[in-house]
Amino acid sequence: MGKKILIVGGVAGGASVAARVRRLDEHAEIIMLEKGPHVSFSNCSLPYHLSGIVEDSQDLVLMNPDIFKNRYNIEARVNQEVMKINRDKKTITIKDLIADRTYEEPYDSLVLSPGAKPIRPNLDGIDHPNVFTVRNVVDIENMNDFIKQEDIKNIAVIGGDLLVWRLLKI
């Protein structure tokens, strides 16, 4: 059996690494760990769910753990939060967020691609329920549900990445 490769993060970076490792080593055991419920979703299309162009947010999800396993022999575990790297033992400590249990997973090689955390500036009202950050499918679903429930007609967008520019064009 080949090396055991653990990849922390299952969206664009992590999924790309997993696919590349598979091309380089068909015998490697590859496990991709994602804290959220989705792997490999279309980040750039998230704003189109708000506009209605993409009606069903699940259409933003490009792959799921079954497809990764069946097509690429990559184990993709969702709802798995990496709590600690135990470098001396070459293991990581993982919390299964669904089963609410913690376990250790050994590795030969470890790749970190956990993504970014949105910056929330220290402003009055930043923790108000009508202030959102958008990073994944769950975030855009929550924002879209709030907009519909509260019949919101105007929003302010703060930030300057590609996602923001797509929101402004909607």
* Residue 105 DSSP code: E
Tokens at residue 52, please?
């209605």
Instruction: Given the residues 2, 3, 16, 44, select the one marked as catalytic.
Output: 44
Query: Is 21 designated active site?
Result: no
Tell whether the torsion through CA atoms of 137, 142, 148 and 154 is positive or negative.
Answer: negative
H-only helix segments in the chain: 12-24, 46-51, 65-72, 137-149, 162-169
Strand ranges, E, within the chain: 4-8, 29-33, 39-41, 61-63, 74-77, 80-86, 91-96, 101-106, 109-112
> Whole-angstrom Cα distance, residue 148 to residue 90?
47
Which positions are annotated as active-site residues?
Answer: 44
